[in-house]
């Protein structure tokens, strides 16, 4: 996995000790588990703080907090060479938030396979996303399992 430092290590530690930030960091980490695995704890914490600075919690309904995180990732200069990251994050949001059978999302072809290889902690991660081809992904119940499938 790619885990280079995205920001200066001199960033203030007191920011990370802020109780509200730690709560938000935990929320984002739970909703963006694949992104967390991909960039690592330290980078995820720094990215989460940048998001937190510009997207303060504005309601008591924190379960909706982070819905624009994927678009935010796509705007970061530090991640500009990783164009696929926003698509992986959109699938994270889709999967790790309350979902119902039949829910759908449209993403570039290859997003599901790339996301799954990270989610399953496969030894070899191959990220191949074709933004020129869009596929529909749907939540389906197969036996007793809930899965995301391309339709």
Per-residue model confidence as pLDDT tens digits over 21-45: 888 899 999 999 999 999 999 999 9
Which is higher by pLDDT, 145 or 13? Answer: 145
**pLDDT computed for residue 125 by the predictor:** 85
Task: Report how far residue 69's alpha carbon sits from residue 48's, in angstroms, rounded to the nearest whole number.
Answer: 9
How far, in Å, CA of 41 to CA of 39, rounded?
Answer: 7
Q: What pLDDT, on a 0 to 100 scale, did the predictor assign at position 16?
A: 55
pLDDT tens for residues 57-97? Answer: 765 566 788 999 999 999 999 998 998 999 999 999 999 98
15-19, 29-33, 144-148: least confidently modelled range: 15-19
Contact 33, 92 (CB under 8 A): yes
Strand partners, 147: 140
Question: How many CB atoms within 10 Å of residue 14?
Answer: 8
Residue recorded with tokens 């499938």: 149
Q: How high does pLDDT run on average in the chain? A: 85
User: Which region among 6-15, 40-49, 99-108 has the lowest average model confidence (pLDDT)?
Assistant: 6-15
What does the pLDDT look like over 123-133, one tens digit per residue? Answer: 888 899 999 99
């Amino acid at each position: 996995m790619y885990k280079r430092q995205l920001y200066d290590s001199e960033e203030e530690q007191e920011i990370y000790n802020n109780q509200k930030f730690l709560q938000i960091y935990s929320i984002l980490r739970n909703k963006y588990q694949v992104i967390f695995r991909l960039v690592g704890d330290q980078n995820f914490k720094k990215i989460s703080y940048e998001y937190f600075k510009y997207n303060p919690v504005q309601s008591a309904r924190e379960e909706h907090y982070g819905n624009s995180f994927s678009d935010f990732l796509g705007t970061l200069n530090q991640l500009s060479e990783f164009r696929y990251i926003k698509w992986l994050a959109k699938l994270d949001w889709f999967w790790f938030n309350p979902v119902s059978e039949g829910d759908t999302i449209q993403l570039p072809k290859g997003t599901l396979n790339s996301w799954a290889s990270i989610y399953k902690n496969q030894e070899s991660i191959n990220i191949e996303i074709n933004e020129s081809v869009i596929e529909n992904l749907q939540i389906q119940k197969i036996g007793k399992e809930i899965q995301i499938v391309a339709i």
